[in-house]
Structure 1
């Protein structure tokens, strides 16, 4: 059925109990069997069906969360609260609704984020506990993950001037795990505030709201439009602003690498790129970043940051090349590196 485009579109058009049943089946297949190349296909189907139907596999649903106190943080589409899940302190990202906003569209966006995030497992990626639906008069979906007392990367750097910056750069290369995942995952919104600091002072990537699955020449089917134009301007690669060639505006592994270079600048400068200018001015004037006055930033790391931020997407290194350069840095040998778990088509999780 999945191999025939017309029947596949019938599957993706299901809703209600039928869509829920299919989501449960596909998730169970992914959880239970070594599916080799079929795995990539099934994940893509799972994410797309969830996004279209606004539903989740049953195993992702959490029965109850005790939400504590007041809101502690907020973003464009969600507010973050502290909560308690079976004695564990958790972050509860609750969908934000603005008056007449299309609630159904937001539910579908949250479904896609939850289902994709749930497939990931790495020391460098924030764990995903599941989805909690509130019991309010207007129920809302909440995404639940561990609570991080050390907050996001910018806050941690502000509070800890002696932070191990090279270690944080190495950890932020959880991007390598995403790009080597099967199928590859493009984060789409990598920046300091979307990197959280664990209790043992390691960095892990969070917020997969704008993430997409990379195109695969072996997987062809029409999907609903993705919001490739969204993102955070100072971390967005130049090609994403190309108004002449729409194809270049599609997020890619290369645009993630550009964002990683900007994160590297954040780590050593202690501030976002071009923070002294209005966001679009740096793009319009094609301004160059000045090297931060940080004695811990050596020539090799600065050269790598500049390579990642090359204006030509084809000239940027890939995530594995960046990781290799960082791991070969003379100061890296003193750090304990967690393994990078990669889904191998032949061997499964390795």
Structure 2
């Protein structure tokens, strides 16, 4: 099969399959990814899987969930969907119901995110339970993940002012490192506090992959998004993403994720989004510097790291591997206990 996919004509023939034939191929490729150590061809297979899913509108069958019981009302809203609490075989889950879009291209992109998310396996990235199709006049795709009682990062820090902020910042960096070092680098595209959840072991994991893309395959451009909480994503967006004169610079990248990470670092120590006291677009376009938070937990080294990640020159931003190294080398990092994260992931992960 791999030899066949390497030939452009046969590959295009495969990608042109629909219906039962496409479903069989999706199931076979997913089985290969699940069952074998395929590091040397994993990137290639993931790209084929996502592209076939986008074109056919189907998923590997193992991702489809049937017995979801949605309870109560909507509990949260995001850029691309609304979140409900549900039950899956006695386990609480978050059910993100995708909104109906007019554009078929956007719907196809969102379906592809489910297939991409299913390939992740990291304790610093929220596990993916599967896809559920909600019944109704207009059946909608739902993405299902474990429910996190501790909520998102801003809520957790508000309720727990003595939380270990450095540990949480390192957790986020490790999640971003995993995405950027995936078989093909994955751009999260919407990294911010509300898209980071706190696990039962009180560790941070990255969630909400509504904008994530495989870096070198992406030709999709995004503008500032709005969420139901009214904050939108603008305060976390790198300045080059607003360069309307240069479409190439407006493309989401590993560097724009690093900028967003720097903003998350500020959010962790300041307890608020960047430029919350100003119109964020104006502040970003004028290259205004953030005021250093008064937090006693914030040392010079971490503040320097935050500023370096938020450098207005994208070429000067640190690679995520160096961010992780600097955080790990911090004197307080040796006090971390990693076991709670491992235990949580083993109990709730789906891979």
| TM-score normalized with structure 1 length | 0.89
The question of 1:78 aligning with 2:78 is answered no
1:10 paired residue among 13, 18, 21: 13
Partner residue in 1 for 2:26 = 23
Counterpart Cα distance in 2 of 1:322 and 1:338: 22
Q: Could you say which residue in structure 2 is the equivalent of 1:96?
A: 99
Separation in 2 of the partners of 1:162 and 1:90? 28
1:147 corresponds to which residue?
Answer: 147
Q: Distance in 2 between matches of 1:134 and 1:34?
A: 34
1:133 corresponding residue in structure 2: 133
Alignment RMSD (CA, Å): 2.0
TM-score (norm 2): 0.89
* Structure 1, gaps ≥5 residues long: 216-222, 342-350
* Deviation (angstroms), 1:278: 1.9
Superposition deviation, residue 255 in structure 1: 1.1
- Give the Å deviation of 1:163: 1.4
**Structure 1 Cα separation of the partners of residues 168 and 224 of structure 2:** 26
Aligned equivalent of 2:310: 309
In the alignment, the residues of structure 2 paired with residue 246 and residue 194 of structure 1 have an alpha-carbon distance, to the nearest angstrom, of 26
**Residue deviations 1:142-201 (CA, integer Å, cap 9, x gap):** 111011111111111111111111111011111111111112211111110100011121
Name which of structure 1's ranges 234-243 and 255-264 shifts more when overlaid on structure 2: 234-243
Deviations 1:225-271 (A, max 9, x none): 42444552211112222223221222111111111000000000000
Aligned residues: 331
2:202 matches 1:201: yes
Partners of 2:341 and 2:51 in 1: CA distance? 27
Structure 1 match to 2:162: 162
**For 1:53 and 1:154, how far apart are their aligned partners in 2?**
38
Q: Distance in 2 between matches of 1:265 and 1:153?
A: 12
Answering whether residue 96 of structure 2 is matched by residue 54 of structure 1, we say no
Q: Is the 8 A contact 1:95 1:106 kept in 2?
A: no
- Where 1:175 maps in the other structure, the secondary structure is helix
2:264 is the counterpart of 1:263: yes
Q: Per-residue deviation at 1:82? A: 0.6
* SS of residue in 2 equivalent to 1:248: coil
Residue 35 (1) aligns with residue 67 (2): no
What is aligned with 2:116?
A: 116
The answer to whether 1:226 aligns with 2:227 is no
Q: What is residue 251 of structure 1 aligned with on the other side?
A: 252
Q: Which moved more, 1:79-88 or 1:270-279?
A: 270-279
Deviates more, 1:260-269 or 1:242-251: 242-251
Q: Which residue pairs with 2:171 in the alignment?
A: 171
Q: Which residue of 1 aligns with 2:326?
A: 325
1:348 aligns to what? none
Kindly indicate whether the alpha-carbon contact (under 8 Å) linking 1:55 and 1:108 is maintained by their aligned counterparts in 2. Answer: no
Q: Which runs of 5+ in 2 are unaligned?
A: 226-232, 343-351
Post-superposition, which runs of at least 4 consecutive aligned residues in structure 1 deviate over 6 A?
338-341
For the Cα contact (< 8 Å) 1:123–1:204, is it kept in 2? yes
Residue in 2 aligned with 1:219?
A: none
Alpha-carbon distance in structure 1 between the residues aligned to 2:131 and 2:12: 26
Q: 1:297 aligned to 2:298?
A: yes
